[in-house]
Structure 1
Amino acid sequence: MLSILDRYILKKYLGTFVLLLLLFIPIGITVNLAEKIDKILANEVPFIEVAKYYLDFTVYFANLLFPLFLFLSVIWFTSKLANNTEVIAFLSSGVSYYRFLRPYMIGATIVCIGALIMGMYLAPMASKGFNEFTYEYLKKGKNDRNQTNVYRQINDNDYIYVSYFNVKEKSGNNFTLEHFEGNKMTFKLAASRIKFNEKDSTYSLFNYTKRIIGENEDILQSQKRLDTTFTFEIEDLTPVTYIAETLNYTELNKFIEREKERGSSYINRYEVVRYKRWSLPVSAYILTIIAVAVSSMKRRGGMGVNLAIGIGIGMVFIFFDKIFGTMAEQSSFSPFIATWFPNIVFGILAIYLLRNAKR
């Protein structure tokens, strides 16, 4: 059972963390809105769409920066405990330093579980809405998607291409499908536009042509519209820049296995997304230990010194996380090592600081 000390610290732990989120998220929304307001007004975006965007932005923002918020919140309230000599009172009552850490670890477990649920299922949905709004309204007319030519091998024999794909409308332009038997193309499908029909999982092809390549002459078929089915899925036509972020963990695992079979060149990018969904929640434990070790000692400079140290350590952690993640995405560097390296380095730092703080 939790003692009075456990309940007291746990209440401070979770309360300060939630309060910091509630304080910083409106600031993030305000800064983002100030930056995007001109485009929102120029494109006459409906209010309901803006409201949905900032709901998605809130989840996206919280999931991205929760380690920093958690770290600063633990430093903040632990520094207050130290300045009020409450930490000394706890330890003087016969409570060991490791026993003093127990409510912090319980709090870190609660935050870790919440971050796992958010990262595995809620954040992907938010990321989908966030990116769809960005491409639909904020980057409208910039040809961002026209430049994302999608060329995919969907099995041993078939290749598809689409020059433009709208995720929200699930439609694309300049679609082709080429079928090979060995090294020889046997037929090629082409359409000026392709649209996915969610109701029956079929595809509509507009200005459709099919060229069957024969020994002596080719056979050409054409129709204004053709409704048909394909063996590939709608995700195969999605721009690869952010597709992994929009899939929940189960879907992401299936997607990565399918992409490996197809020899996709973006596997490292997808692997980084998958491993981060585990590494970031686990960082709650490491950052909590570092924050307690740094702030549980009463310093001459008071809370300001502890916060300065905390902000510095937090920024270094985020820098490591971003730099190694980018390195894995852009090279052959192991995604697993890249995503877990910050936790390993800061885990060693946490052990060192904990031993010093215990003394």
Structure 2
Amino acid sequence: MKLVWYVFKMFLPLLFGMLFLFIFGFEIGDLFMNIWKYIFNNVPVKEVLHIMLLYIPKTITYALPLSILFGICYMLCSLASQNELVAFFASGVSYIRFVLPLIIFALILSHAYMVFEDKVVVPTYKQYTDLKNELLHIEQNKNSTNITIRSENGKIIYKADTYESSSKRLHGLLVIVRNDEAVITDIIKAAYAVWSEDRAVWVLSSPVVYSLNEEGELSSGYMRPQLEELLIESPDTFKNNEVDVETVTIAQAKEYLRYLQRTGLPGGKAYSVYYKKFSFPYVILIVTFLAIGLTGRSRRNIFIISMFLSLSASVVFYVLQMVTMLLAENGYIVPAAGAWLPVIIFLIISVLLLKNSKT
């Protein structure tokens, strides 16, 4: 127990000190990037401070892995330079036993990071974005172009050139109607369609209907009432509803994924980012392993070389994750692999580094 207390007595002040410095740096960087926009739009100082306050939880998620990396490297290098690690090893305390409290702490912190991201960071970052957009007069476009939507479990497919959110109007509409066996029965074309609030259906302008009989013969005709009753998909479905899964909660992400599945929209990127919500928090465990395993690999300039090696390995991890996420988005690998593969690879590498650490 004394060993655990000694480790955290040295590590926690370093962690919180580095965390404060990185948070301050990220806040100042965000302020400088937007300060001319604030001045141009006459944003009050009180509101700017409110924006900065809402941005703090997001900066914590950026700063925490870096703070842990710097804190562990500095602590171990300091102990090594003062020969305190040698004293521990001579008294029968192995290197793994010495750093085990840090590993357990990192594992707990990884799970806490996931909860903190979902319950605190996502809501506050949304408030930060909404407030900044409001003060800087940035409007969100709800109109959509080149829309393809599946409805009624794929029985009805809408294809439109554009959707106007303000007037709830679809332009260049093509509707494909299929039966239970997924065989096309009717194709409807219209210059535009307007949503009727009273009837809760799409009212088509001069529609032309092409029907296919059982023999595959095509005939044209007028809009039948039974076809019009099928066009009940909500206008909200046609809005520019693209959601950045990374900026919503896990529950909201699940709902969005169900929406993509229901409408038949591509979801490779959304699914991979959703899985990343569960895999990325383990970056804390990874940087902990890297800092422990790579510290002390050189006897000269121990801190500089240890930091360089740890940072380089961390950069490789982030680059690998970017590559696998890109592969997942384009369908070359499954979304779960895009999120978890770098974590698994680096956890294995980190454990091997720890096992072969010099003591």
TM-score range, shorter chain: 0.7 to 0.9
Per the TM alignment, residue 84 of structure 1 is displaced from its structure 2 partner at its CA by 2.0
TM-score (structure 1 length as normaliser)? 0.75
Per the TM alignment, residue 65 of structure 1 is displaced from its structure 2 partner at its CA by 4.9
Q: Which has the higher contact order (CA 8 A, sep 6+)?
A: 1
Of residues 166, 178, 182, the one that matches 1:173 is: 166
Q: Check 1:137–1:315 CA distance in 2 against 1; reply closer, same or farther (3 A cut).
A: farther
Match of 1:196 in 2: none
Residues 1-359 of structure 1: pairs in structure 2 closer than 5 A: 3-133=1-131, 135-136=133-134, 140=138, 145=141, 149=145, 151=147, 153=149, 155-156=151-152, 157=156, 159=158, 172-176=165-169, 181-182=177-178, 183-185=186-188, 189-190=193-194, 210-211=203-204, 232=234, 237=239, 239-240=241-242, 242=244, 244-265=245-266, 267-296=267-296, 299-357=299-357
| Residue deviations 1:294-318 (CA, integer Å, cap 9, x gap) | 2256722132222222222222222
Tell me how many residue pairs correspond in the alignment. 324
The 2-side partners of 1:129 and 1:150 are apart by 30
Q: SS of 2:151's equivalent?
A: coil
The 2-side partners of 1:137 and 1:164 are apart by 27
- 1:14–1:107 contact (8 Å) kept in structure 2: no
The 2-side partners of 1:257 and 1:117 are apart by 22
Q: Check 1:293–1:209 CA distance in 2 against 1; reply closer, same or farther (3 A cut).
A: closer
- 2:144–2:240 contact (8 Å) kept in structure 1: no
Per the TM alignment, residue 330 of structure 1 is displaced from its structure 2 partner at its CA by 4.3
C-alpha root-mean-square deviation of aligned residues, in Å?
3.7
The 2-side partners of 1:85 and 1:340 are apart by 39
| Residue deviations 1:51-73 (CA, integer Å, cap 9, x gap) | 34323332223324533332222
| Residue deviations 1:197-249 (CA, integer Å, cap 9, x gap) | xxxxxx999xx994475965899xxxxxxxxxx8759687454252x223211
Please tell me the residue identity of whatever aligns with 2:194: A
- Of the structure 1 ranges 53-62 and 129-138, higher mean CA displacement relative to structure 2 is found in 129-138
The 2-side partners of 1:102 and 1:231 are apart by 56
TM-score (structure 2 length as normaliser)? 0.75
Per the TM alignment, residue 154 of structure 1 is displaced from its structure 2 partner at its CA by 6.1
| Runs of 5+ consecutive residues of structure 1 not aligned to the other structure | 166-171, 192-202, 220-229
Larger Rg: 2
Match of 2:216 in 1: none
Please tell me the residue identity of whatever aligns with 2:149: Q
Per the TM alignment, residue 180 of structure 1 is displaced from its structure 2 partner at its CA by 6.3
| Runs of 5+ consecutive residues of structure 2 not aligned to the other structure | 179-185, 210-220, 226-231
Per the TM alignment, residue 22 of structure 1 is displaced from its structure 2 partner at its CA by 0.9
Q: Check 1:28–1:139 CA distance in 2 against 1; reply closer, same or farther (3 A cut).
A: farther
Match of 1:194 in 2: none
- 1:150–1:239 contact (8 Å) kept in structure 2: no
Q: SS of 2:168's equivalent?
A: strand
Per the TM alignment, residue 37 of structure 1 is displaced from its structure 2 partner at its CA by 0.7
Q: SS of 1:173's equivalent?
A: coil
The 1-side partners of 2:163 and 2:41 are apart by 21
Q: Check 1:337–1:152 CA distance in 2 against 1; reply closer, same or farther (3 A cut).
A: same
Q: SS of 2:260's equivalent?
A: helix
